[in-house]
Chains A and B, each alone.
Chain A
């Protein structure tokens, strides 16, 4: 069965700092990978996804993620965070089962 691990439970950054949130998954087959974001009081929404092709995926709001197959990783990055990026971020994987989510990483951006 597939599983997803997000290593950081809570990350606190100052505005303009760079962000990298880790995501590792366990599944040996072909996977689809997703990052979802949940802003306070709002729905989960898709940030970006990887199905195939270029392993460096660009999403909305300046986010990107890199699929490294050999490391079973799909880390989320943003060069310069803003206060409005404060949210909960979920990595998700779909292999041979419906979407499986990581536990989420809470990002707090302070001025």
Chain B
């Protein structure tokens, strides 16, 4: 199956600093990537949808100036949490959708392992 990798898997930072999380599709081209946020015992909440080469589409209530998303290539999307605060501490998960070589896009999402952000 398709592999999506996130880095770092765990990051601790001081309040006010910025943190970048990378999401890579390792063996397929991801035309669309999604960034989710998951609080403890809560569902995955979609933050934004990013399409390669265009601006991300943010869900209602998500600050686009705080959560910067870049999808510069078909295999890499980045989420930068700017001026992080303790309330930004969460589990951030990316997923990708795209066609595998020789296979039609079935609409299935492939998920990264998630990145746990702790802001002190």
A100 closest partner in B (C-beta): B46
Residues of B within 8 A of A9 (CB): 41
What is the CB-to-nearest-CB distance from B107 to chain A, in angstroms, rounded to a whole number? 6
Report the Cα distance A42→B93, complex, angstroms.
12
Secondary structure type dominating chain A contacts: strand
Partner of A42, one of B41, B42, B49, B113: B113
Is A98 touching B49 in the complex (CB atoms < 8 A)? yes
B32 closest partner in A (C-beta): A98
Binds B, one of A67-75, A77-85, A101-109: A101-109
Residues of B within 8 A of A104 (CB): 43
Task: Tell me if A45 counts as interface (CB < 8 A to partner B).
Answer: yes
Is B46 touching A98 in the complex (CB atoms < 8 A)? yes
Is A99 touching B46 in the complex (CB atoms < 8 A)? yes
Interface string of A40-61 (1 = CB under 8 A from B): 0011111001010000000000
What is the CB-to-nearest-CB distance from A32 to chain B, in angstroms, rounded to a whole number? 6
Residues of A within 8 A of B19 (CB): none
Residues of A within 8 A of B41 (CB): 9, 103
Task: Tell me if B67 counts as interface (CB < 8 A to partner A).
Answer: no
What is the CB-to-nearest-CB distance from B71 to chain A, in angstroms, rounded to a whole number? 15
Is B44 touching A101 in the complex (CB atoms < 8 A)? yes
Partner of B107, one of A32, A36, A44, A101: A32
Binding site for B on A (CB under 8 A): 4, 9, 32, 34, 36, 42-46, 49, 51, 90, 94, 98-104
Q: Besides A100-B46, A101-B43, A101-B44, 6 other CB < 8 A contacts? A: A42-B113, A49-B108, A51-B107, A90-B43, A94-B107, A99-B34
